[in-house]
A and B are shown apart, each in its own frame.
Chain A
């Protein structure tokens, strides 16, 4: 509805779209780069291009998908200019870093939570981005493939490797949790 109004050139409808998606895009974009200003400029560009091309766009099934894909491309293209410390030859436009953090589960011992955070950090940027898109944005594999510019099989493989890493870890985490519970019981037992 909003989309159709925007396509007919309704600037107010477009402004509502901008406000509605600014947080989603900002959250996604700043995961590639901590530079908020850079991300803001990229978001602005994405919306301006969207406005200019509105007549040539078909009915878009997912606005979020379209915008995220466009922003990803834009940020990745702009990023190398801002990274002055990396030698030019080593700049690879296709592998920017990506930040995700897992919600702290306070029922788990601190040690385990630290391990979990470390393992998430050890994942490759692409694996992290995939987890983000799948579990935070709740996008299905075919949409993820579209956004990240991969084929479905690659997305599948990437998800597989990321989840297997986490699964191993979470198994460890259960064992560790059990051990700490045992220690607690034993201590309690001997204390009395």
Chain B
């Protein structure tokens, strides 16, 4: 009660009890405030002032959902319910890894399908792995080519990952990559892009368009094509620009660049992309699974080579939900769980037991 003694208009305005009494008085609050004013009559003018302000703030109702829309909504939800399995085992909460940092580091996966005629150039090259060429001119860009016949992993300086398909190559500048996140791509590749604060856009340039992405939670997936170049998005937003057109591509959508007509168009994917949020929630949910299986599942989804150096290690089990994470985050988490380390050797991932100290 004592605190009310020195109440001014502002104090009343910010007092939840007072506001509730003004807006929706009931017996209890009525008694309470009458007692207050009887005890401290000097504050009554301030209370009246505050009351006047509050009664002026009457916000108009805005929009009612149209009846037809409500029926559509109810029908769609009914449909969803009947299709979803009765026992929902979609999400395991048994072990929730809580790595705020990782969840915060939202990502973009971006795949650019590029006309396959380019790949012919590499058929005579030795089938080994990543070929890294440093060009000394200017900002010293680095060219990484995949001359093998399997997709290989490239880790960029900002911790973004590129999974390069056979025959593809990327060019970027090692030194100032964190300031200018620009990659030139020829061929087909799959990008998982780390979010950066302050926002530094990540730009992938090809011969026909640029794809610009920011750090809002993105997932993008792969597809193969011959006559059209594509950008396929898992979740989030990618901006695709050609000489003439700009398109924003959202979750489960793709931008298609028709090479012959040079027309850029946008389509919604009929099926969920292989690494879309919905797909990975189910896929990367492991319950006491042997490392062998977990690794096999990752390797097939990302189409990368992951090997385990020690048969004993392969038998270790883990329970985890890895859906939201980037490939390299998934690997780090797995390694923690089974006490292992992973290394990137010539684009191939190798898991080995942690050395005892």
A131-B57, A159-B14 in contact; A88/B76 too (CB < 8 A)? no
A93-B216, A156-B14, A167-B9 in contact; A27/B61 too (CB < 8 A)? yes
Interface centre among B201, B239, B248, by most chain A C-beta atoms within 10 angstroms, is B248
Q: Is B199 among interface residues, defined by CB-CB distance under 8 A?
A: yes
Q: Is B64 among interface residues, defined by CB-CB distance under 8 A?
A: yes
Docked-complex contact B64 and A89, CB < 8 angstroms? no
- CB-nearest residue of chain B to A48: B80
Q: Is A74 among interface residues, defined by CB-CB distance under 8 A?
A: no
In the assembled complex, the Cα of A134 lies from the Cα of B69 at a distance in Å of 28
Docked-complex contact B81 and A14, CB < 8 angstroms? yes
Tell which of A60-68, A96-104, A180-188 binds the partner: A96-104
For chain B residues 62-87, which have a beta carbon within 8 Å of chain A? 62-66, 69-70, 72-74, 76-78, 80-82, 84, 86
Of B86, B90, B214, B217, the contact of A88 (CB 8 Å cutoff): B214
Docked-complex contact A27 and B64, CB < 8 angstroms? yes
Docked-complex contact B77 and A15, CB < 8 angstroms? yes
For chain B residues 15-72, which have a beta carbon within 8 Å of chain A? 16, 19-20, 23-24, 49, 52-54, 56-66, 69-70, 72
A interface, over-half SS: helix
Of B9, B19, B91, B251, the contact of A53 (CB 8 Å cutoff): B91
B78 CB to nearest A CB, Å: 7
Interface centre among A22, A88, A99, A138, by most chain B C-beta atoms within 10 angstroms, is A88
Chain B interfacial positions (CB closer than 8 Å to A): 9-10, 13-14, 16, 19-20, 23-24, 49, 52-54, 56-66, 69-70, 72-74, 76-78, 80-82, 84, 86, 88, 90-91, 93, 199, 201, 212, 214, 216-217, 237, 239, 248, 250-251
* Chain A residues with CB under 8 A of B14: 156, 159-160, 163
Docked-complex contact B72 and A101, CB < 8 angstroms? no
- CB-nearest residue of chain A to B212: A88
Give 1 or 0 for each of A50-84: 1 = CB within 8 Å of chain B CB.
01111110000000000000000000010011001
Docked-complex contact A36 and B69, CB < 8 angstroms? yes
In the assembled complex, the Cα of A26 lies from the Cα of B68 at a distance in Å of 13
In the assembled complex, the Cα of A77 lies from the Cα of B80 at a distance in Å of 22
Q: Is A170 among interface residues, defined by CB-CB distance under 8 A?
A: yes
In the assembled complex, the Cα of A36 lies from the Cα of B52 at a distance in Å of 35
Count: A-B pairs, CB below 8 Å? 141
Chain A interfacial positions (CB closer than 8 Å to B): 9, 11, 14-15, 18-19, 22-23, 26-27, 30-31, 36, 40, 43-44, 47-48, 51-56, 77, 80-81, 84, 88-89, 91, 93, 99-103, 105, 116, 131-132, 134-136, 138, 140-141, 156, 159-160, 163-164, 166-167, 170, 173-174
Of A27, A167, A173, the contact of B13 (CB 8 Å cutoff): A167
Of A15, A54, A132, the contact of B88 (CB 8 Å cutoff): A54
Closest 6 CB pairs of A and B: A26-B65, A103-B58, A81-B250, A136-B59, A101-B60, A163-B13
- CB-nearest residue of chain B to A16: B74
Docked-complex contact B84 and A167, CB < 8 angstroms? no
* Chain B residues with CB under 8 A of A156: 14
Docked-complex contact A138 and B10, CB < 8 angstroms? no
Interface centre among B65, B69, B199, B201, by most chain A C-beta atoms within 10 angstroms, is B65
Docked-complex contact B10 and A163, CB < 8 angstroms? yes
* Chain A residues with CB under 8 A of B20: 138, 140
* Chain B residues with CB under 8 A of A141: 16
* Chain B residues with CB under 8 A of A27: 61-64
B11 CB to nearest A CB, Å: 10
Docked-complex contact B69 and A40, CB < 8 angstroms? yes
- CB-nearest residue of chain B to A104: B60
Interface centre among A36, A80, A91, A135, by most chain B C-beta atoms within 10 angstroms, is A135
* Chain A residues with CB under 8 A of B49: 167
